[in-house]
Amino acid sequence: MARHGGGRGWYGKVVGAALGVTMLATGASVWTAQAGAAGASSPKATASAAPGGAVKPVAVTIAHASDKGARGVNLTIDDGPDPVWTPQVLDVLREYGVKATFCMVGEQAQAHPDLVKKVVAAGHRLCDHSVSHDTTMDRKSEAYQSQQILDAERMITKASGGVRPMYYRAPGGAFTPYSRGLAASRGMRPLGWNVDSKDFERPGTDAMVATVERELPNGPTILFHDAGGDRSQTVEALRRLLPWFKEQGYSCGFPVR
């Protein structure tokens, strides 16, 4: 998973002190070892004060595999929701009977709760993509990382009507041992990608389709975007790729948890 440079950069600001959570996961020993190796401190406090009530912690390792197995494909849609492009993406997914994981920016979810609810109602999954899509999060303090992750979790959960995000994807892939451990303790599996469609660069639909078809053997999780500018190429690429997946014997599923 290469660092992804696309996105709107930091346009939020720290609004409070760090919120921590106890590492309740069965993978707590893994977190402890990783944090110790990186010189980071383990998140502290309890999960009860965080949004959504009690949660079941998950593994801290970055997920790539599909719950559909060796011929599974995970569609992940980043940076929305967007009032223009998210409905069009949803229409294409519905047309082909396919589910996806929407990695939402907290500020976008807060601004468009109707779209968050539509994503959930259609059977798709939610992913915390931070409050403001700061691709330099890995170089910021643990207090800042906590604010970005936990405030986004709260914003998305509220916008959805109470459905919690199941994953956390760091903006640009800017994970740290601390951020992975914090997200996992909140029940959000860190989520990577194997194939970057390059749609953020708008290289043309043909180029995007060719990239996905060529790189799919690298792994099942594919990165697309439904915000951050004109996403007409993304919509058209999905319209061409979804039937191709089926023809090639692939099934669209969700990242493992």
125-128 and 167-168 beta bridge pairing: parallel
Contacts of 206 (CB under 8 A, 6+ apart): none
Residue that the structure tokens 């599923």 belong to: 253
112 part of a folded domain: yes
Residue 3: per-residue pLDDT:
54
Q: Compute CA distances 210 → 135, 216, 241, 245, whole Å.
A: 27, 10, 10, 13
CATH code of residue 199: 3.20.20.370
182 part of a folded domain: yes
Catalytic: 230?
no
Q: Which domain holds residue 149?
A: 28-253
Residue 23: per-residue pLDDT:
32
Q: Compute CA distances 8 → 61, 114, 139, 153, whole Å.
A: 26, 22, 17, 19
Dihedral (CA of 179, 182, 186, 188) sign: positive
4 part of a folded domain: no
Say if CB 185 and CB 43 are below 8 A apart. Answer: yes
Mean pLDDT by 10 residues, the chain (257 residues): 46 29 31 30 33 78 96 98 98 98 98 98 98 97 98 98 98 97 98 97 97 97 97 98 97 97
Say if CB 252 and CB 124 are below 8 A apart. Answer: no
Active site residue: 78, 79, 134, 199, which one?
Answer: 78
Catalytic: 78?
yes
Active site residue: 4, 112, 133, 225, which one?
Answer: 225
Residue 40: per-residue pLDDT:
35
Residue 185: per-residue pLDDT:
98
Residue 54: per-residue pLDDT:
75
What is the number of structural domains in the chain? Answer: 1
176 part of a folded domain: yes
Residue 10: per-residue pLDDT:
25
217 part of a folded domain: yes
Residue 42's φ and ψ, nearest 5 degrees, are -80, 145
Q: Is the pTM of this model over 0.85?
A: no
